[in-house]
Homo-oligomer: A and B are copies of this chain.
Amino acid sequence: MQFEILKKDRNSGARLGKCHTAHGVFHTPAFIPVGTQATVKAMTPEELREVGAEIILSNTYHLYLRPGHERIRRMGGLHRFMHWNDPLLTDSGGFQVYSLNSLVKVSKEGVQFQSHLDGSRHFISPEKAVEIQEALGADIILCLDECTAYPASHEEAERSLELTLHWSRRCRDAHRFPDQALFGIVQGGMYSDLRQKSAETLVEIGFDGYAIGGLSVGERKEMMFQVVAETAPLLPQDRPRYLMGVGTPGDIGEAVRQGLDMFDCVLPTRNARNGTLFTRSGKMVIKNAKYAEDSLPIEPGCRCYTCRHYSRAYLRHLYLAEEILAVRLNTIHNLHFYLRYMSDLRQAIAEDRLEGFMQDFNSQWESGKEPASEGPESLPPRSGGRQRISFEGTHGLTKSFRMNLKNQQGGEFDV
C-alpha cells in the first residue's frame, strides 16, 4: 500500500491524500461504509460505488464464525466472494469479541470466547487474527487489540495497553504479505500519557498505518477530541491515520482538521434502517406524520437515486409498511450524504477553505435539528471489564429468520 499526501492544509492538520492498495485507489479523508457479514446491508457493490464508496469494511469476527475464513479463502478470498473488487479493510475482531460475548477470557496469549451464534468456544491469538485476515485477503488489516473499557482507571488502562502492545508486536511479526497493509491501533483509554506511550511504541514497531481505537465508547465528545488532538501529532505524517467508529459528519470534520484520514461508522447505515435520514439541516425522522403527504424528496437538490425519484410521503409509507425497499432507499440516501460530504471536505481542503466549509456545514446542521428521537449517536458506555453490553432489541442474533430493523442501540453486529 502506498499513501500519497497530495496537500496539507495550511490552517489545520488536515491532509488531502490518495491511498494505493492492491485493489485500487481510495481518496482521503475517506469514509468507510461498514459491511459486517460480507455485505453492506441492502447494498450491491455497484450501488456502493454509485453513491461514492471507494473502500468498505468487513468484520473479521463475524466472517470467522460464519462462513469461516478458510471457506472464504478457498472461494478465492473476500473480494471475490462478495463481488467487491475495490479497496477492502478488515478489522481484527477485537471489538466484536467483547461487545457480543459475555464469557470472554483474555490472556497474554489471546482471547477466548464463545460464539454468539452457537455458543461454541474459540480462541484467537494475535497470530490467528493475522492468519484469518490473510485468508480473507483484505487490502488493509488490523492488529488484534483490546478495546479498553470505559471508564477505566489508569491502572486498568495501562494493563490493557500493555496487552495491546504485546499483541501488536506479535501481529507485526506474523504479518507476511506485502500487499496487505497492517495497521496498529492506538489505545490507552482517556489518559494522555498512555496514549502517548501507545502511539510512540507502535511507531517504533512500525506499521503501514495507524488507527486510533477505544474512542466513541461513551465518553464526552470533548474528551474524545482531546485524545485525538494529542495523539495525531505523534503519528507519522506519511502514514494514514484511521479514527475507528467515528462518527457524525461534524465529528468527522473536526477529526479531519486534527489530521485524521479514515473513518468508519454505522451511523448512516443503521440510521437508514431506523428511518432516520441525514440532511444538511440535520436529521429527519421519516415516520413523522408531517411527511405523510410531503411530495418533496428527503433533501431537495440531493442527487442520490432516492431523492431523484421518491417523495418523503412514499418513503414514510414504505417505512411504516416495514418494506425492504425502505431500507434500500434510506441507505442509498444516507451513504450518498456521507460520501458526498467527504467529497466536499476533500474539495474544501484542496481549495484552502476547510474552515469556512466546516463553519457553514455545522451552522446549517444545527439550525434545522429535529429532536433526536432515534437512538444514541455513539455506543452506550461500557461497563468495567469485559462484560457483555446489554443492547435493546434483537440485533440479528435471533435464530428465527427475522430482521429487527428497529434496533437502535444495536451492537457492532447490527451494522
* Residue pair A75, B313 in contact (C-beta under 8 Å): yes
* Residue pair B313, A42 in contact (C-beta under 8 Å): no
> What are the residues of chain B within 8 A of A401 when measuring CB–CB?
322, 404-406
Shortest 7 CB-CB contacts between residues of A and residues of B: A401-B406, A42-B324, A37-B321, A402-B402, A39-B325, A67-B317, A83-B309
Pick the contact of A313 from B81, B314, B404 — CB < 8 Å?
A: B81
Most chain B CB neighbours (cut-off 10 Å) among A41, A66, A321: A321
Flag whether A109 is at the interface (Cβ < 8 A): no
> What are the residues of chain B within 8 A of A402 when measuring CB–CB?
322, 402-406
Flag whether A292 is at the interface (Cβ < 8 A): yes
7 sample A-B contacts, Cβ–Cβ < 8 Å, listed by A number: A37-B318, A67-B292, A67-B320, A71-B293, A81-B314, A400-B404, A402-B403
| CB of A31, distance to nearest CB on chain B (Å) | 20
Question: B-contacting residues of A (Cβ < 8 Å)?
Answer: 37-39, 41-44, 66-67, 71, 74-76, 81-83, 292-293, 295, 305, 309-311, 313-314, 316-318, 320-325, 327-328, 396, 400-406
> What are the residues of chain B within 8 A of A44 when measuring CB–CB?
305, 325, 328
> What are the residues of chain B within 8 A of A320 when measuring CB–CB?
66-67
Q: How far is B74's CA from A253's CA once the two chains are assembled, in angstroms?
A: 41
> What are the residues of chain B within 8 A of A328 when measuring CB–CB?
42, 44, 324, 328
Q: How far is B396's CA from A402's CA once the two chains are assembled, in angstroms?
A: 11
| CB of A265, distance to nearest CB on chain B (Å) | 19
**A326 closest partner in B (C-beta):** B39
Q: How far is B385's CA from A364's CA once the two chains are assembled, in angstroms?
A: 60
- Using known A-B contacts A322-B396, A400-B406, A405-B402, determine if residue A38 contacts B317 with beta carbons closer than 8 Å: yes
> What are the residues of chain B within 8 A of A403 when measuring CB–CB?
322, 324, 402-403, 405
| CB of A388, distance to nearest CB on chain B (Å) | 21
Q: How far is B84's CA from A309's CA once the two chains are assembled, in angstroms?
A: 10
> What are the residues of chain B within 8 A of A82 when measuring CB–CB?
314
> What are the residues of chain B within 8 A of A41 when measuring CB–CB?
323-325
- Using known A-B contacts A322-B403, A324-B324, A404-B401, determine if residue A38 contacts B314 with beta carbons closer than 8 Å: yes
